[in-house]
């Protein structure tokens, strides 16, 4: 028996290496903890309709997506919190007025005001997004998450000023440091983890999480054993109980081994 019951894993920079592959040690570690009866969730900023291939490769069927706006446990919907349509509309206006691009995520699609923008094409290639559509006004009531594209370091203030209950988190992917995820104070990975722990009646001390980006800070702070990847954002380490090795150096495996969960 183990003292741990549940494991939450970010995808980009945590499970996935920069070349979009998964280390064999990561696959081995996930398989070993599942054999011990530990529940495993993928916890990502990505839309869930774009991660089925990763879930299949790792044999995982529980998810937190859209930076905490939607959660599923073995096919059962646990949490579903679309964004305020007024916030969505204001962000579309700010982006238009400042020459920024953005992607709006619904449950089924990635919505872009401009699919032909070079910055958008780079984003699509980096994340291998397939379910893309042109923006139409009726989608604003169905938006679960937003990523802002081609911002400067000063630009996040424009959006945070428009809605003080939101902050932007820089995407921790090489070549995309000009992209920012929109994170709600009341809807994020940490809030979703709390809902899941309550739903499954698991104490936070029995929960483990791994992440590398600033959109993981709430999640790492919510669980008993939070691990920041060695390749993580420099500001993330203060929110994690542990620091493990890089995603390219068996970070998940080494972290779980330090807890005595893998051989």
Q: Which pLDDT belongs to residue 176?
A: 73
- Tens digits of residue pLDDT in 109-151: 999 999 999 999 999 998 889 999 999 999 999 999 999 999 9
Q: Are residues 165 and 215 in the same domain?
A: no
Q: What is the total count of domains within the chain?
A: 2
**Final residue before a domain boundary, out of 164, 184, 204:** 184
pTM here? 0.92
Q: Are residues 94 and 163 in the same domain?
A: yes
Q: Are residues 205 and 138 in the same domain?
A: no
Whether residue 1 has pLDDT greater than 60 = no
Q: Which pLDDT belongs to residue 101?
A: 96
Please report, rounded to a whole number, the percentage of residues in the chain having pLDDT higher than 70.
99
**Final residue before a domain boundary, out of 184, 210, 225:** 184
- Tens digits of residue pLDDT in 239-251: 999 999 999 999 9
* CA gap 257, 243 in Å, rounded: 13
Residue 42 domain boundaries: 6-81+187-258
Q: Are residues 19 and 68 in the same domain?
A: yes
Mean local confidence (pLDDT), 55-77: 97
Q: Could you tell me the CATH number of the domain that includes residue 76?
A: 3.40.50.1000
- Tens digits of residue pLDDT in 113-123: 999 999 999 99
**Final residue before a domain boundary, out of 129, 152, 184:** 184
Residue 73 in any domain: the answer is: yes
């Amino acid at each position: 028996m183990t003292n741990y019951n549940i494991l939450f894993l970010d995808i980009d920079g945590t499970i996935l290496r920069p070349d979009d592959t998964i280390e064999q040690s990561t696959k081995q570690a996930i398989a070993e903890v599942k054999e011990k009866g530990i529940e495993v969730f993928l916890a990502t900023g990505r839309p869930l309709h774009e991660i089925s291939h990763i879930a299949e490769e790792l044999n995982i069927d529980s998810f937190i997506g859209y930076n905490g706006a939607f959660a599923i446990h073995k096919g059962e919907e646990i949490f579903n919190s679309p964004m305020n349509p007024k916030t969505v509309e204001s962000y579309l206006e700010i982006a238009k007025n400042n020459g920024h691009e953005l992607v709006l995520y619904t449950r089924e699609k990635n919505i872009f005001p401009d699919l032909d923008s070079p910055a958008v094409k780079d984003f699509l290639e980096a994340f291998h997004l397939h379910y893309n559509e042109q923006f139409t006004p009726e989608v604003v009531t169905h938006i679960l998450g937003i990523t802002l594209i081609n911002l400067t370091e000063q630009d996040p203030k424009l959006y945070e000023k428009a809605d003080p209950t939101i902050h932007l988190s820089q995407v921790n992917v090489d070549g995309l440091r000009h992209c920012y995820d929109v994170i709600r104070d009341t809807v994020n990975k940490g809030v979703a983890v709390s809902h899941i722990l309550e739903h499954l009646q698991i104490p936070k001390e029995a929960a483990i999480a791994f992440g590398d980006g600033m959109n993981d800070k709430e999640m790492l702070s919510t669980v008993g054993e939070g691990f920041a990847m060695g390749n993580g954002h420099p500001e993330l380490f203060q929110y994690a109980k542990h620091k493990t090795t890089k995603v390219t150096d068996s970070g998940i495996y080494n972290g779980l081994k330090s807890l005595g969960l893998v051989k």
